[in-house]
Structures are given as structure tokens and as C-alpha cells.
Amino acid sequence: METSCGEDILEVLLCNEYEGRSPPDRGQLAHLLGKELEEITGSLVELSGSGAVTLHSDGTIALSMSGRTDARRVVQRHRVLQRFFYEMLGMAPDKASREACILEHNISDEAITRLGNYIQGAGPRGKERPGAYHNPPLPGTPCRTPLLTCEVGVTVRVAGIFDMGNIHRLLDLGIVPGEEVVIRRKLGNGAMVVEVKGCEVAISPGVADSICVEKT
Amino acid sequence: MHLALLGNPNVGKSLIFNSLTGLGALVSNYPGTTVVLSQGSVCYQHEMVTLTDLPGVYSLEGRSGEEEIVRQFLTRGDADALICVLDATHLERNLYLFLQATELAVPVVLVLNMIDEAERAGISIDTDLLRSLLGVPVIATSARDGRNIAAIVPVACSDARTSYIMVHYDTHIEAAVAALTGIYPIVRPTAIRALQGEGEDPELLDSAASLAKEIEGAHFMTTAQIVAANRHHCARTITSQVERKGSPHKDVRVDALFTTAFPGIPILIGILGGILLAVFLIGTAIERVLVGAMSVLLLDPISSLDLPPLLHQVAVSIVLAIQAGFGIALPFILPFFIFVSFLEDSGYLTRAAFLTDRAMHRLGLHGQAIIPLVLGLGCNVPALMSIGTLPSRRERVIASFLVTLVPCSARTVIIAGVLAAFVGIIPALVTYLLVLIVVVLTGLFLSRVARGVQFGLILEMAPLRWPDPRDALTKAWMRVREFFIIAMPLLIASSIVLGLLHYLGLIKAFQDLIAPFSTVVLGIPPYAITALIFGILRKEMAPETLFILAGTPDLAAVMTPVQITTFAVMSVLFIPCISTLAVLVRQSGLKVTLLVSFYTLTLGVLAGAAIHLITTLI
């Protein structure tokens, strides 16, 4: 149970970030999780021990870089499962979400990948796809290649973007799912210049990490 | 008739604006807002046509400062027609903004600028087909050599149309838009924005959020991503019909030098250091002549006029204010901006932003903030004017603090003219370094405490090109004029107030009151405090006043080296000058300004006290 509580905490923190709210303190976090303060203390200590979350001196709790990666993985597992229950099995959305909440902690990465591929192959309720832009790839499969890991000179296709609520400019510049980008330059820290629609765009490592791509 | 120029950054919009209106264009406060928009007028068929140059944006949605300004302007409906300026070399990307503009149902004219560059790159665009696809007039121009520029205003006045092109959004989005526009009295663009979680009406946002959640559940993509993808798709469909591509984009070899850690970073340091040195040398030379000339031509005649004392005081104060304004603007701001405009037009600044992004992150900012910080080394006023381009309020607040701490050329003058001259070059360098360390520490601290989410860098790299000196000069001049508009009235007002206080003996009274404090805590003579206060008007005035009050230009004779050091350090850290404060209020609000003033005041006093304490203990 310890791991599942920890993963729930990560998930809630990521959602909180996504909604642009300031980091919660212990009490608020327990409230968001619908649990008592004592129930989450153990997991919190464990998470901060492993470096996934940072406990600030003012009592607020924030995700670390590695914690954010873990949290995304949990959210992705949740999405794939929820989609499977909802679209393939025809369950009600909230019920699908609840089931996904339970299963997401114990399922292996391989199973999720295969399930994701299966859903993608079947298409959303057999509906015809009007074109690459209308229904881009990557439903909820775990991100195997973030743009951050790609090398200079490679051409990749954007598969999905983790919207942390600050990527509007990215979309305006044409970095949208389905679009091809070329990596032009990369600094030691992972900041890169990519070419999209004939224009060069500089992005910082954090942003590059939230863009999921596939090789063309 | 009121026309407005809309377009992405770097499409030559301002160049078109300048060549249409000439240099006489008025930079004015846009009515009802605190935003400065360039406005000019053109005569067409005996009618006055007002032309507004909107800031360059990529989208009419989004929350950045410029996007807000443009949206505000467009929703007010003041413009009778929009002139959409598109970069012919990047038609597809530029059409994205155009497609958003057509949703506003305003008559538009499409200007296909940089057509010469497109031709050179082997891109040919079928303007007739584009015209018939979009249903609006299309003018292919080249602002650089003036091709077809004269046709813009006549066509916009007589022939602008509402485009009949329409982006077909995903069926779910369309259904949601139909639902929202059915329930609420809103137009299509507002509904689309609401679906992306943007807007003002909380009730509308609530309904939109529940619809958006369903759509996102089905697509596993945010509504913003779907909408953007649909628009880009539409732009691509249009472009693929009208454009014939030339040779693929070539990687410019010089660019590789600028955007790799080595030699990019040494080049960056070299360029910035060179500019600072040049501005400092040119600036001090011109300033000496200018301030000297004004003293001879204005101050001395006033003294010889034998006016009543009160009137004399007011007249002197006004002259001092004018002296302060010109003493900063012409010698320092103008040359600095000529250099920076050059860099900006060449596209180099975006490369600098990319290289410094990582270091800036530590300070709670990102790469784009290098521009205000560098500008701050020349003068804080233009630096603060440029922080409006930063994407979040958090970054603007942090930048407000850091920029006002950056030692501007005036403060460098104090360090050089007082510390280096009377105490030695080593203490002067140490002080300069200390101030920079304070900037870094403040950044490190603020990045921890400031509220809000940190944004990553997402910045389009402007293409590298050789800048046109005329454009750079024009741009520099526009900025200096902006400085005068903002700072001059305040400078004159505060100078008169300070003068009157002096006349009424209040400054003397204050000096007596502060005497125990200044002698015991800071270890400097009370008249040095008066000099510090005058330094708020213009930083270089602090040492100048000190020379007068001390009764000798040889400070070493009346003050100890420690006292001189305390004075210099305090005047460098002390509250920024009044012009800086004025711009700060405009850019970041009264609260931040008060915080900055309080912080710098505390910092100055603490530093002064620390120096005194340490030296007496030793």
C-alpha cells in the first residue's frame, strides 16, 4: 500500500502543478487526496528520502525533476487504463477513472505499452480518422522518447505534449502533435534549437522533456 | 479611418509603419490603458488615416503582455481594417495568426512582406490564387527596398474585406463552440478561447471547462493542442496550394559559432563587454560636454538674472531636471540603444538568450531576461521598459528587482569617479563585483520565494541578417523618445519639490535630524546624506552635490578613505533614480516599486553600517 499512496501523492502534485496552483502544504495535500494527515506522512518521508519531492521550509511540498518524471508515468498509466475501460469496455467515464486509480499502481510498463498500442490500433470506437492533424498518434502510451533525449541532426515527429499550462507559445510556433521537427543544435544541459515549419525555435531542457516524439 | 498593423515579431511590421508614417509618428499612451502603442497618421485622398503599430505576436490567444495588449485593442473595435503583415519566407507559420485574425470578422488586407527574400530563397507564391482562396486583397511587398509599400494604405482604405476562409475545427470543438455561442451572448473567437480555459467570465469558463474536459477525455490531447493543430493544418492546406518551395533551409555556418557553448559564450561576453566599454567611454565624454554646456548656457544666466529667491530656486530646479534627463538620455541611452538595436535587428539577441538560458534559470528567470539585464548595465530605464516582454508576472517582478540593482552607467561613474579616484582601483573593482554578487544573491533568493510557476524558454530565433543602420538608428531614437515621454515630467516635478524643500530649509532640518544616525551608525558626515538624497534625482548628482557641500573637489582632504567608500557603496546600492522608479511603477505597479525602494534602501544602509562597523572594530 505504501507505494500506491506515494504514487497518488505524485499524481496529485502533478495535477496541482498543471492547474497552475502554488504548491500545497501537508494539510492541503491530505485534503486533495481525501486522506488523513497521518496516513500520508510516512509516504511523504519516503518520497522526500528518495528525492522525488522537496519539502520546503515554509511547509509546502513540490515535485523534483525526477519526481515529475515518475508522476507523469503514473498519470500515463492512469490515462491508458481509463481509456481502455471507457472506450473499449464501454464503462462510464468516472467509473473507468476509479478503476484506473486502483490498477495503475500494480501494472507493469510493458502491459501498459501493449495496451496503449492495442487501443491505438483499434481506433476510438472504430471511427474513421479524418487526417493526421485531426487525430494524431499517441493516445496515452508512455513516452519512450522525450525530445530531450534526441541528438542533433535527427528528424522526429511530435507524438504528444505534456501540457503544464505554459506551452501556448509552443503550439503557436507550430510544435503540435503530428508535426515534424529537426534538431539543429543542442547545448550540454539539453537546451536545444529545433527547426519547425522552416523557423528555428529555442527551447529549454524542461520544455524539451515535456515533448514526446517518435522517430520518422 | 483607423488602420492597425498586425503580425508576428520580426516580419518587418515596424519598418512598414515607419516608412508609411515617417519619423513624426507619435508614441502615445493608448487611451484607457497604460500601454504605449506607436501611432501615426497618413494622408489618403484628403483624409486623415490613423495607423497603429501593434506589438508583434504569434497568437491572439495566450496570456503574455503583448498578446493581452493586442487582444484588448482588437476587441475594442477601434480599427476599421487590419493590415496583416506576413513573412513570405515563412508563409505557413505566419498564416496561423492571420487565420485567427479572420475569426474576428474585421476587414483585413494581407501584406506579404519580405517577398524579395522569398524570391532569393527560391520560394514562389501565387498571390492571385492566395487572394481567391482567402477572399482578401494580397499585396506582395518588400519593406527594405520600399517595393509596393505605397499600395498598402490605398488598398486597406478602399478594398479591405472580411475573409471567407474558416478554420474547420475538430467536430467536438465545433459542437462545443456551437453550444457555448448558443447559451451565452458571445462570438466564436471568445468561445474558442473559453474552451482553452481563457477568458474573463467565470460562468462561461465553467461551462467551457466541463465541455473541454469531455473533449480532452476523448482525444487525449488538450483543447489548446487540438485547436492549434487544426489551425496549423488549415494553414498548411492553403500554403501547399499557393507556394512552391525553393531549396531547403541551409544551416548558416556563422550561426553554429553563435549557438554552441564554445565559442558562443566567449563571443557573447566579448560583444557585451565591448558594447559596455564603448558606451561608457562615449557616454562620459558626451555627458561632460553636455552638462557643462548646460551649466554655462542655462544655469549661469539664471543666477545672473537676480530673480526673487523662490522663483530662482524653481528655475534652477527645472534646469537641473532637464540637465538630468538629457545627461542620461543622450550620452548613455542613445549610444547604448544604437548598439542594442543593431544586435536586435541582426538576430543575435535571440542567440544570446538561448546561450544564457541555463544561468538565468538559477536566478528565477529565463534566457529572454538577458536583454533587460544587459540593457540595465547601460541604463535601468530602458531595461525596465523591456521587461514587458517577459512571459509571466513572476519573472517581471524578479526582473524588476534585479534590473534596478544592476549597476547602470551612472553608478559606474560614481564607482570610477569617487572610489577609483580617491581610494584606489582595487576597492572600486571590489565594489563593482560586490554589486554584481548582490544581484545574483537577490535572484537566487527571489527565485525561491516569488510566487507563480516558472516558465521554460520557448523563443523563435530571428534569422541572422545584416542590419540596416538606418533602421537601427530609427529604433534607438524611438526608444530614447519613449524615455523622455515617461521620465521628463516626473524628473521636473520631483526636482522642483526637492528644490523647494531645500529652499524652505527642510533638507537642512532633515540633515540635522539625521546627523547622529549618520555619524554614529554610518560614520559619514551628515551632508553626505543630503548628497545621497539628491542622487535619487540622477545618480551622478550624488558625488556632484557632495563636492559642493564639502566645499572642495578634493574629497580626500575632508573625508577618510573609509568614509568615501561608505558613501560610494551606499549611493550605488541606494534607491534607484527617480526616472527608474517612474518606469517601474508603470511596468510592475506601485507595490513592487515600494518593495524595491524599501529593499534597496535597506541594502544601502546595511552595507554602509557594515563597512563602518567592521572598520571601527579593526
- The angle formed by the CA atoms of residues B96, B102 and B103, to the nearest 5 degrees, is 100
With beta carbons under 8 A apart, name residues in chain B contacting A139: 220
- Check B461 against A199: CB less than 8 A apart: yes
Rounded to a whole number of angstroms, the distance from the CA of A187 to the nearest CA of chain B is 6
Using a CB-CB distance cutoff of 8 angstroms, which residues of chain B are in contact with residue A143?
none
Q: Is A124 on the interface with B (CB under 8 A)?
A: yes
Nearest CA in chain B to A18: B453
Is the pLDDT at B273 greater than 80? The verdict is yes
pLDDT of res. B135:
93
For residues B518-537, give the mean pLDDT. 86
Give the residue among A65, A187, A194 at the shortest CA–CA distance from B356.
A187
Q: B18: pLDDT confidence band, cut at 50, 70 and 90? A: confident
Instruction: Look at phi and psi of residue A54 and say left if phi exceeds 0, alpha if psi is from -120 to 50, else beta.
Output: beta
Task: Identify the CATH number of the domain defined by range A147-215.
Answer: 2.30.30.90
pLDDT at A129 over 50: no
Residue B112 is predicted with a pLDDT of 96
Task: Write down the pLDDT at residue B43.
Answer: 86
The distance of B301 to chain A (nearest Cα, Å) reads 57
Q: How far is A169 from chain B (nearest CA, A)?
A: 7
A46: closest CA of chain B, how far (Å): 24
Q: For residue A169, list chain B residues with Cβ-Cβ distance below 8 A.
A: 58-59, 62, 64, 391, 458
At A140, the pLDDT band (50, 70, 90 cuts) reads very low
B453 neighbourhood in chain A, CB within 8 Å:
17, 20, 164-166
Quick one: pLDDT at residue A17?
A: 76
With cut-offs at 50, 70 and 90, classify the pLDDT of residue A54: confident
For A:39-98, CB contacts with B below 8 A are 79, 83, 86, 93
At residue A152, what are phi and psi to the nearest 5 degrees?
-60, 140
Mean pLDDT check: name the lowest of A62-66, A118-122, B389-393, B526-530: A118-122
pLDDT at A124: 40
Topology of the domain covering B2-159: Rossmann fold (3.40.50)
The structural domains of chain A, with segments of one domain joined by +, span: 2-63, 70-126, 147-215
Angle subtended at Cα B547 by Cα B541 and Cα B552, rounded to the nearest 5 degrees: 165
For residue B19, name the pLDDT band (cuts at 50, 70, 90).
confident
> Which region among B112-121, B140-149, B304-313 has the lowest average model confidence (pLDDT)?
B304-313
* Predicted pLDDT of residue B199: 87
β-bridge mates for residue A201, sequence order: A194, B460
Span B151-155, average pLDDT: 94
Instruction: Give residue B152's pLDDT band: very low, low, confident or very high (50, 70, 90).
Output: very high
Diameter over CA atoms, chain B? 84
pLDDT tens digit sequence for B337-371: 888 888 888 888 889 989 988 888 888 888 888 88
* Angle, alpha carbons B247-B250-B256 (nearest 5°): 180
Domain range annotation of chain B: 2-159, 171-244, 261-496, 499-617
Check for a shared fold between A2-63 and A70-126: no
Chain A stretch 126-165, residues whose beta carbon is closer than 8 A to a beta carbon of chain B: 131, 133-136, 138-140, 160-161, 163-165
Q: What is the mean pLDDT of chain B?
A: 86
Q: Measured between alpha carbons, how far is A46 from A50 in angstroms, rounded to an integer?
A: 6
* Local confidence band at B241 (pLDDT 50, 70, 90 cut-offs): very high
> What sign for the dihedral angle of Cα B139, B143, B147, B151?
positive
Residue B331's pLDDT is what?
83
Pair B198, B167: CB distance under 8 Å: no
Residue of A nearest to B97 (CA): A172
A134 pLDDT band, cuts 50/70/90, is: very low
Omega before B266 cis (within 30°)? no
Selected for mutation to probe chain A from B93, B225, B465 (highest A CB count within 10 Å) is B225
Please report the pLDDT score of residue A137 as a whole number: 38
Q: What is the reported pLDDT for A67?
A: 84
Contact B217 A93 (CB under 8 A): yes
Question: CA of A188: which chain B residue's CA is closest?
Answer: B261
The answer to whether B56 touches B8, Cβ cutoff 8 Å, is: yes
Per-residue pLDDT at B29: 45
Res A3: pLDDT: 64
CA distance B58 to B574: 40
Q: Which of B62, B90, B229 lies nearest to residue A169, judging by beta carbons? A: B62
Q: Answer for the pair B387, B353: CB distance below 8 angstroms, yes or no.
A: no
d(CA B459, CA B556): 51
> In chain A, pLDDT over 90 holds for what percent of residues?
15
Residue B611: closest CA among B584, B558, B573: B573
> Between these two residues, B246 and B94, which has the higher pLDDT value?
B94
Interface of B with A in 27-86 (CB under 8 A): 58-59, 61-64
Share of chain B above pLDDT 70, in %: 95
CB-based burial of residue B49 (10 Å sphere; 0-12 exposed, 13-18 middle, 19+ buried)?
A: buried
Average pLDDT on B428-436 reads 89
d(CA B17, CA B87): 15
Q: Is the pLDDT of residue B142 over 90?
A: yes
pLDDT higher than 50, residue B30 = no
pLDDT digits (tens, 9 = 90+) for B483-509: 787 778 877 888 888 888 888 888 888
pLDDT band at B455 (very low <50, low <70, confident <90, very high): low
Across residues B393-400, what is the average pLDDT? 87
Reported CATH class of domain A2-63:
mainly alpha
Among candidate residues B382, B356, B351, the one with its CA nearest the CA of residue B369: B356
Contact B353 A202 (CB under 8 A): yes
Architecture of domain A70-126: Orthogonal Bundle (1.10)
Comparing A126-140, B136-150, B447-461, the range with the smallest average pLDDT is: A126-140
pLDDT confidence of residue B340? 82
Strands B243-244, B2-7: pairing kind: unpaired
Q: Given an 8 Å threshold on Cβ–Cβ distance, is A204 in contact with B219?
A: no
Mean pLDDT of B76-99: 93
> Is the pLDDT at A41 greater than 50, yes or no?
yes
- What is the C-alpha to C-alpha distance for residues B288 and B542, in angstroms, rounded to an integer? 16
For residue A96, list chain B residues with Cβ-Cβ distance below 8 A: none
pLDDT of residue B249: 57
Residue of A nearest to B250 (CA): A198
Residue B97, pLDDT score: 96
Average confidence (pLDDT) over A194-201: 92
Flag whether residue B524 sits within 8 Å of chain A, measured between CB atoms: no
**Dist. CA B464–CA B233, nearest whole Å:** 28
- Cβ <8 Å between A191 and B225: no
Mean pLDDT for the stretch of residues A133-141: 37
